[in-house]
Amino acid sequence: MSESKPATGESKVSESKLWGGRFTGGLDPLMQAFNDSLSFDKRMWRQDLRGSRAYATALVGAGLLTEAEASELHRGLDLVAAEWQSGSFVPAPSDEDIHTANERRLKELVGAPAAKLHTGRSRNDQVATDIRLWLMDYLSDELLPQLRRLINTLVSRAESETGVLMPGYTHLQRAQPVRWSHWLLSYASMLRRDCQRLADCRARTAVCPLGSGALAGNPFGVDRQALADALGFTSGVTWNSLDAVADRDFASEFQFAAAMLGNHLSRLAEDLILFCSKEFGFVTLSDAYSTGSSLMPQKKNADSLELIRGKTGRLCGHLVSLLMVQKSLPSAFNKDLQEDKEGLFDSADTVSAVVRIADGVVATLTVHPEACAGALSCDMLATDLAYYLVRRGVPFREAHAASGRCVALAEAKACQLHQLTFEDFRTVSEKFGEDVTQLWDFETSVEQYGAFGGTALESVRQQVAAFRRWLGDEQK
Ligand code: ARG
C-alpha cells in the first residue's frame, strides 16, 4: 500500500460523488480505496441494472416519472448493460460501487431523467436487492444444475456397478461388507440434502427488499409487490424496512449450505484418497484428475481430491466471517455489510468448482472389483454369526456374546473365524448347526440387508429408483 497524507480542503472527488453535496473535503486516497467496492461488486452489474429498470417502471406507477422519461431510462440502462457485456464500460475514479457506477454512466448517456431514478431509493435497499437477485440467479443457473449432475453421476455408477462388494468401515476399521453402489449412494444422499437446503435458501432469498429506502421505507407509495413480480422475487416482499436493508440471513444460509456441501465432498474426497492408495487399491483415478511428482517418477497424486478437501476450509471460513460481520451490528445498514460480498462470490466460485471436479473424478475413475472383494475378510461376518443364532431363537445379546467367544476362540487357535470347525462352534453354543460352516459368503451377507435403505441388491435398486424419481421431479 502506498503512503498517503490525510486529505484536506476542497477536492474534485467529493464534488463528483453522488453523495458529495454536504462535503467540502475530499477523501484520503487510502480511504477511497478502502471504501470502494466496485472491483468486486461489479459482478452484480446485471442485477443492478435489472433492479433499476423495474424501479423506473415503479416510479411511473407512483406518478414520479412520465412514460417517456421511463423509456429514456430503459434505453439508457440497456446501453449501460451493453457496455458491461462487451467489456467497454469504463469506470470513473468517483465510482464507489456498482450502484454509483451505473447511475453515473446512465446520467452521461441519457441526461436529465437519470437524476430522478434514485427517488425514494437508497443504495441500502438497492444492494440488498442486487445480492439477492445475484444469489437467486447463481443458484438456479449454476450450482443447483451442477449439483444435480453430480448426483446423477453417482446414481448412474451405482446402478451399473451393483455387483461390486467392498468393506464398509466404521472408525476406519473394516466393519461389514457393503455394495460399492451403496457407498456411492450414501454420498448421493448427502448431496440430495444439500440440494434441498440450497433450494430452501433460494426460496428465502427470493423476497424483495426494494422499496425499503435507506431504512424507513418508501415515501412515494411505490407498488412493492409489482416490483417483486417484475424482478422474479417469488416469495413476496420483505415485511419491515429496518430489517430488510440489513438482512443478510439469506447469504449466511447460503454460506452454511455451501460449507456443508463442501464438508460432504471433503468426506467423499477423503474416502477416495484412501481407496486409490496402493494400500487399498479399490479405485484408480483417471489421469485427467491426477498429477505427478516433479521428483518421484512413480507418483500419481490425487490432487483433485486433496483440493476438494482443502477448499472446504475456505467455505467454512467464509461462513464464520459473515456471521462475525453481523454479530452485534447495530440496527439497519452499516458499512460492515459491504464485507458480505467477497466471501459470497468466493464461496460460490469455490463450491461450484468443487462440485464440477467431484463430478469429473467420480465419472472417470475405475473401480477394481477384485481388490474391493479382496479386502473382505470373514471376521467382518462376526455379526452374521450372531444373526445366525438370533434366527435360531437366541436373544441378540446372548448371540452377540457367543459370536464374540467364537472370535476369541479363533484368536486362541491362531486361525480365521471361518476356519473354526463345527465342533469348535459347538463348544461355544449348542444352537450352532452344521450349516454354520456355510455362513462365510459375502454375497449372502449383504443380501440380508433388504429393508429399504440397506445394502441388499433389491434395496440398492430401490434407492436408485427413488433418486431417479427425485431427479426427474427436480428437472421439472
Ligand atoms: N457498496 C455498499 C455495499 O456493498 C452499498 C452502499 C451502501 N450504502 C451506503 N450508504 N453506504 O454494501
- Residues 382-440 have pLDDT tens digits of 999 999 999 999 999 999 999 999 999 999 999 999 999 999 999 999 999 999 988 99
Tell me, in angstroms, the distance from the centre of ligand 1 to residue 46's CA: 17
pLDDT at 64: 97
- Residues 217-268 have pLDDT tens digits of 999 999 999 999 999 999 999 999 999 999 999 999 999 999 999 999 999 9
Is it the case that residue 11 has pLDDT exceeding 60? no
pLDDT at 23: 80
Cβ-Cβ contacts under 8 Å for 237 (sequence gap 6 or more): 207, 208, 209, 211, 224, 225, 227, 228
Is it the case that residue 1 has pLDDT exceeding 50? no
Tell me, in angstroms, the distance from the centre of ligand 1 to residue 335's CA: 6
β-pair partners for 25: 10
Cβ-Cβ contacts under 8 Å for 230 (sequence gap 6 or more): 54, 57, 58
- Residues 183 and 185: their CA atoms lie apart, in Å, by 5
The amino acid occupying position 397 is R
Please name the residue whose Cα sits nearest to atom 12 of ligand 1. 338
Is it the case that residue 8 has pLDDT exceeding 50? no
- Residues 429-450 have pLDDT tens digits of 999 999 998 899 999 999 999 9
Is it the case that residue 10 has pLDDT exceeding 70? no
Please name the residue whose Cα sits nearest to atom 1 of ligand 1. 97
Instruction: State how far the alpha carbon of 451 is from the alpha carbons of 368, 394, 411, 463, in Å.
Output: 27, 22, 33, 11
Three-state DSSP state, 413? coil
pLDDT at 15: 55
19, 47, 248, 338, best to mutate for ligand 1 pocket (most atoms within 8 Å of CB): 338
Q: What is the mean pLDDT of the chain?
A: 95
Catalytic entry in 4, 160, 277, 293: 293
Span 191-207, mean pLDDT?
Answer: 98
Span 173-196, mean pLDDT?
Answer: 97
- Residues 113-148 have pLDDT tens digits of 999 999 999 999 999 999 999 999 999 999 999 999
Is it the case that residue 292 has pLDDT exceeding 90? no
Predicted confidence band at 101 (pLDDT cuts at 50, 70, 90)?
very high
Binding pocket residue ranges, ligand 1, CB within 6 Å: 37, 41, 97, 123-124, 127, 335, 337-338
pLDDT at 189: 98
Domains of the chain and any CATH numbers = 32-116 (1.10.275.10), 123-374 (1.20.200.10), 378-475 (1.10.40.30)
| Torsion angle of the four alpha carbons 18, 24, 30, 31, in this order, in degrees rounded to the nearest 10 | -60
118, 123, 210, 322, best to mutate for ligand 1 pocket (most atoms within 8 Å of CB): 123
pLDDT at 14: 54
- Residues 36-72 have pLDDT tens digits of 999 999 999 999 999 999 999 999 999 999 999 999 9
pLDDT at 417: 94
Please name the residue whose Cα sits nearest to atom 11 of ligand 1. 335
Please name the residue whose Cα sits nearest to atom 4 of ligand 1. 338
- Residues 295-330 have pLDDT tens digits of 888 888 999 999 999 999 999 999 999 999 999 999
pLDDT at 25: 79
Cell matching residue 145 = 444444475
Q: Which atom of ligand 1 is nearest to the CA of 126?
A: 5
293 an active-site residue? yes
Tell me, in angstroms, the distance from the centre of ligand 1 to residue 152's CA: 41
Catalytic entry in 171, 241, 277, 328: 171
pTM of the full structure: 0.93
Please name the residue whose Cα sits nearest to atom 2 of ligand 1. 338
400 an active-site residue? no
Tell me, in angstroms, the distance from the centre of ligand 1 to residue 342's CA: 14
Instruction: State how far the alpha carbon of 222 is from the alpha carbons of 37, 47, 69, 115, in Å.
Output: 28, 19, 17, 18
Asked if residue 424 lies in contact with residue 363, where contact means CB atoms within 8 angstroms, the answer is no
Q: Kindly give the residue spans of alpha helices, DSSP state H, lying in 232-339.
A: 241-244, 249-275, 303-326
Cell matching residue 450 = 433388504
Tell me, in angstroms, the distance from the centre of ligand 1 to residue 97's CA: 8
- Residues 361-382 have pLDDT tens digits of 999 999 999 999 999 999 999 9
Tell me, in angstroms, the distance from the centre of ligand 1 to residue 256's CA: 24
Tell me, in angstroms, the distance from the centre of ligand 1 to residue 259's CA: 26
Residues shown for the chain: 476
Q: Which atom of ligand 1 is nearest to the CA of 98?
A: 1
Cell matching residue 368 = 477394481
